[in-house]
């Protein structure tokens, strides 16, 4: 991925790149108002985006149907301004990317491990989606406010 040079790239990482990082990417992209590029990847990609992640993001108007699971090494030659890890394992194995200025670690439960009926699993996916949404909407608002006031980060 090569974002336009004028847009900083924010890379969201988790282990499997099947749920949390995609939900965060979708939400952050939706609320960023085109102010930054957003991508996600995993340290051990699952090879798919979880169907329930697709479903719960669709419930809030975010379409992840074109997303694919990819390895974080895909971005090693790409200037990444900010890395955000959303699980402990990705935080531990996260490399430093070219141009990286910021790093944040905001862990969330992995909804892929939810057990029970489909309704019970959906409840977990919705809870994690809403937690991710609160954190990433606040982060985007702060970034947008900072750039509106002349700060670049």
Please check whether residue 140 lies inside any domain of the structure.
no
Range of the domain at 47: 9-134
Nearest residue to 81 via CA among 64, 61, 98:
98
- The model carries a pTM of 0.89
Please check whether residue 35 lies inside any domain of the structure.
yes
Please list the active-site residues.
14, 87, 94
Please check whether residue 4 lies inside any domain of the structure.
no
Please check whether residue 119 lies inside any domain of the structure.
yes
Number of separate domains in the chain? 1
pLDDT bracket for residue 81 (50, 70, 90):
very high
Nearest residue to 84 via CA among 134, 25, 32:
25
Nearest residue to 21 via CA among 105, 97, 146, 102:
105
Please check whether residue 144 lies inside any domain of the structure.
no
pLDDT in tens, 93-137: 767 776 778 889 999 999 999 999 999 999 999 999 999 999 999
The structure tokens listed for 142 are 């702060």
Please check whether residue 42 lies inside any domain of the structure.
yes
CATH number at residue 27: 3.40.50.2300
- Please list the alpha-helical segments (H only) found in the chain: 20-31, 51-58, 88-93, 118-148
pLDDT in tens, 4-26: 557 889 999 998 899 999 999 99
């Amino acid at each position: 991925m090569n974002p336009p040079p004028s847009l900083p790239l924010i890379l969201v990482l988790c282990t499997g790149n099947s749920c949390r990082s995609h939900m965060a990417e979708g939400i952050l992209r939706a609320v960023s108002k085109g102010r930054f590029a957003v991508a996600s990847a995993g340290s051990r990609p699952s090879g798919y985006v979880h169907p329930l992640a697709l479903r719960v993001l669709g419930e809030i108007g975010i379409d992840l149907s074109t997303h694919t699971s990819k390895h974080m090494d895909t971005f090693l030659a790409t200037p990444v301004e900010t890395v955000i890890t959303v699980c402990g394992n990705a935080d531990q194995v996260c490399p430093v990317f070219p141009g990286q200025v910021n790093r944040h670690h905001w862990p969330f439960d992995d909804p892929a491990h939810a057990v029970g009926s489909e309704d019970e699993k959906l409840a977990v996916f919705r809870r994690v989606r809403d937690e991710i949404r609160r954190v990433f909407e606040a982060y985007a608002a702060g970034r947008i406010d900072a750039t509106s006031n002349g700060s670049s980060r």
